[in-house]
Amino acid sequence: MSAIRIAIVGASGRMGRMLIEATLKDERAELVAAIDQPGTPAIGKDAGELVGMPCGVPVTSDAEAGIAKADCLIDFTRPEGTLEHLEFCRRHKVSIVIGTTGFSDEEKQVIAETAAEIPVVFAPNMSVGVNLVFKLLDTASRILNQGYDIEIVEAHHKHKIDAPSGTALRMGEVIAEALGRDLKECAVYGREGVTGERDPSTIGFATVRGGDIVGDHTVMYCGTGERVEISHKAGSRMPYALGSLRAARFLAEKANGLFDMQEVLGLR
């Protein structure tokens, strides 16, 4: 298979830089476009210089022109930006890996409809390890389905703008599905004051924001006399970048369709 031509948006951001580094180090991938917002100091600079690996690809603010050069776009920006880039991908028949979180139900429907024309991987977390955890949570929830209170605790850096994280929400969805529940009906996103006894049918969420925490997630199954915990802790953003490139290679063989990382990894 020839190298997959990759375009990256948000090139000068924390995740963008990690994606650039991972792409430049992967012999199966070729960076053909690095895109950032107009006025960003990185515009016009060599994208590789952002990670100490000059490559001859300048950072551009022309998203559509950059996307048109690629086989696959990797997008970890914000919902409004991702949806604009998604339309560019549709026009130019470019696949897309979406790591952006915080979409509304209506915006998710737009992604699903666009996937009828182009191949899309849309997942709240691209890490291989996190997606293994999703599988473990499905198994654990089916076994610990009686007598265990379930709580999800997540922690991220101070710059993250949505809460709970998309990963924590997906964990909740996996657990709820395994238990035959609807997360929208059983989720509790915060507790304060006199809340009364805990409803055993609920799934609780707790959110921490601070410093430079990349991403910690722990699910607690709290029973009588014991507690089972399943955790994932990210030490850097590189696992998300490596998983994204794996997803891009997966899409190279697809004409269209909506996929997640469980399908990319053969876990479903």
196 residue type, one letter: G
Distance CA 173, CA 152 (A): 11
Q: Catalytic pick from 85, 156, 217, 232?
A: 156
- State yes or no: cis peptide before 119, omega within 30 of 0: no
Give the alpha-carbon dihedral of 153, 209, 78, 26, to 10 degrees: -80
What the block records as the tokens of 166 is: 């998309």
Catalytic status, residue 156: yes
Q: How is 75-142 classified by DSSP, letter by letter?
A: E-S-HHHHHHHHHHHHHHT-EEEE------HHHHHHHHHHTTTSEEEE-S---HHHHHHHHHHHHHHH
Q: Measure the CA angle with vertex 53, ends 123 and 44; round to 5°.
A: 85
157: annotated active-site residue: no
Which residue of the set 25, 135, 160, 254 is catalytic?
Answer: 160
Active site residues: 156, 160
